[in-house]
Amino acid sequence: GEDVEQSLFLSVREGDSSVINCTYTDSSSTYLYWYKQEPGAGLQLLTYIFSNMDMKQDQRLTVLLNKKDKHLSLRIADTQTGDSAIYFCAVGLLSGSARQLTFGSGTQLTVLP
Amino acid sequence: SAVISQKPSRDICQRGTSLTIQCQVDSQVTMMFWYRQQPGQSLTLIATANQGSEATYESGFVIDKFPISRPNLTFSTLTVSNMSPEDSSIYLCSVEPWDREYGYTFGSGTRLTVV
Residue among A97, A100, A107 with most chain B CBs within 10 A, to mutate:
A97
Given a cut of 70, is residue B109 above it in pLDDT?
Answer: yes
- pLDDT at A86 (0 to 100): 95
CA of A98 vs chain B CAs: smallest distance (Å): 7
- pLDDT at B35 (0 to 100): 95
Backbone angles phi, psi at A106, to 5 degrees: 90, 140
Given a cut of 90, is residue B100 above it in pLDDT?
Answer: no
What count of other Cβ atoms lies within 10 Å of the Cβ of residue A91?
25
| Buried b or exposed e, range A64-87, using 16+ CB within 10 angstroms | bbeeeebebbbbbeebeeebbbbb
Q: Give percent above pLDDT 90 in chain B.
A: 77
Q: What is the dihedral of CA A40, A97, A55, A22, to 10 degrees?
A: 60
Picking from B94, B108, B109, the nearest residue to A98 by CB comes out as: B94
SS3 of residue B87 by DSSP = helix
What count of other Cβ atoms lies within 10 Å of the Cβ of residue B108?
18
- pLDDT at A94 (0 to 100): 60
Altogether, the residues listed in chain B come to a count of: 115
- pLDDT at A99 (0 to 100): 53
Of B56, B85, B66, residue with least CA distance to B19: B66
CA distances to B12, B74, B78 from B22, rounded to whole Å, are: 16, 11, 7
What is the C-alpha end-to-end distance of chain B, expressed in Å?
A: 37
Instruction: Encode pLDDT of B39-79 as tens digits.
Output: 888 899 999 998 888 899 999 999 999 999 999 999 999 99
- pLDDT at A95 (0 to 100): 56
CA of B69 vs chain A CAs: smallest distance (Å): 18
- pLDDT at A31 (0 to 100): 85
- Look at A1 and A69; give whichever has higher pLDDT: A69
- Look at B2 and A95; give whichever has higher pLDDT: B2
Which residues from chain A sit within 8 angstroms of residue B103, using beta carbons? Answer: 33, 35, 45, 48
- pLDDT at B111 (0 to 100): 94
| Buried b or exposed e, range B51-83, using 16+ CB within 10 angstroms | beeebebbeebeeebbbbebeebbbbbbebbeb
Mean pLDDT across chain B: 92
Q: Which amino acid, residue A66? A: N
Instruction: Encode pLDDT of A49-87 as tens digits.
Output: 988 899 999 999 999 999 999 999 999 999 999 999 999
Residues of A with CB under 8 A from a CB of B: 31, 33, 35, 40-45, 48, 50, 88, 90, 92, 97-99, 101, 103-106
CB contact under 8 A, B56 and A103: no
CA of B100 vs chain A CAs: smallest distance (Å): 8
